[in-house]
């Protein structure tokens, strides 16, 4: 009888172990499915969120680009209009001046008395029989001497500060 109790106990333990393993396996399997679904839902939500952010960024970039394009077009149109206005003003002023010239609206003065003039040129002698070209060379020589003096002074200053 002792053997029957041991065999019955052994078979009972095996039977309950198999039932609990099958039950545990089903619960574990369900838990894994729930975890996988949860992870899939989280990944889907993150993907949707990233897609929405990308769409928003794209829309903002498109709006900014459109606004910049419109502003540049308006600036170019304003510049074109201003240039046309300047051209029209120049044309009108030129036409007005041409009308004045062609309408013989000249003034005449009645000069009385003796009025004598003498022609002066750059080649005519100046003081002490020297012409303007000579004075130009003298000024250039003075400027050259000043430049050389300033360079020499600067060079001596940098040599003195190195010691």
Compute how many other C-beta atoms are within 10 angstroms of the C-beta atom of residue 75: 10
Q: From CA 75, how far away is CA 69, in angstroms rounded?
A: 10
- pLDDT tens for the chain, residues 1 to 163: 677 788 878 777 777 666 655 555 666 677 778 888 888 888 888 888 888 888 888 888 888 888 888 888 888 888 888 888 888 888 888 887 777 667 655 444 555 666 666 666 555 555 555 677 787 888 999 999 999 999 988 888 866 665 5
Q: From CA 65, how far away is CA 63, in angstroms rounded?
A: 5
* Runs of H (alpha helix) within the chain: 2-102, 132-162
pLDDT at 23: 54
- φ, ψ for residue 120, nearest 5 deg: -120, 140
Q: Where are the domains of the chain?
A: 1-99, 134-163
pLDDT at 87: 84
Q: From CA 95, how far away is CA 35, in angstroms rounded?
A: 89
pLDDT at 48: 87
Question: Dihedral, CA atoms, 20, 25, 31, 33, nearest 10 degrees?
Answer: -150
Q: From CA 30, how far away is CA 22, in angstroms rounded?
A: 12
pLDDT at 22: 52
- pTM more than 0.75: no
């Amino acid at each position: 009888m002792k053997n029957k109790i041991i065999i019955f106990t052994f078979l009972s333990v095996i039977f309950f172990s198999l039932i609990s393993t099958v039950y545990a396996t089903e619960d574990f399997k369900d838990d894994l499915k729930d975890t996988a679904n949860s992870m899939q839902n989280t990944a889907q939500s993150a993907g949707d969120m990233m897609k929405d952010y990308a769409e928003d960024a794209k829309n903002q970039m498109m709006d900014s680009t459109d606004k910049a394009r419109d502003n540049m077009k308006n600036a170019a149109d304003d510049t074109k209009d201003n240039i046309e206005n300047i051209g029209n003003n120049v044309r009108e002023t030129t036409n007005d001046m041409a009308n004045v010239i062609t309408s013989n609206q000249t003034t005449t003065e009645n000069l009385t008395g003796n009025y004598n003039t003498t022609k002066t040129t750059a080649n005519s002698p100046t003081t002490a029989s020297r012409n303007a070209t000579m004075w130009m060379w003298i000024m250039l020589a003075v400027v050259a001497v000043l430049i050389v003096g300033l360079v020499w002074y600067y060079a001596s200053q940098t040599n003195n500060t190195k010691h």
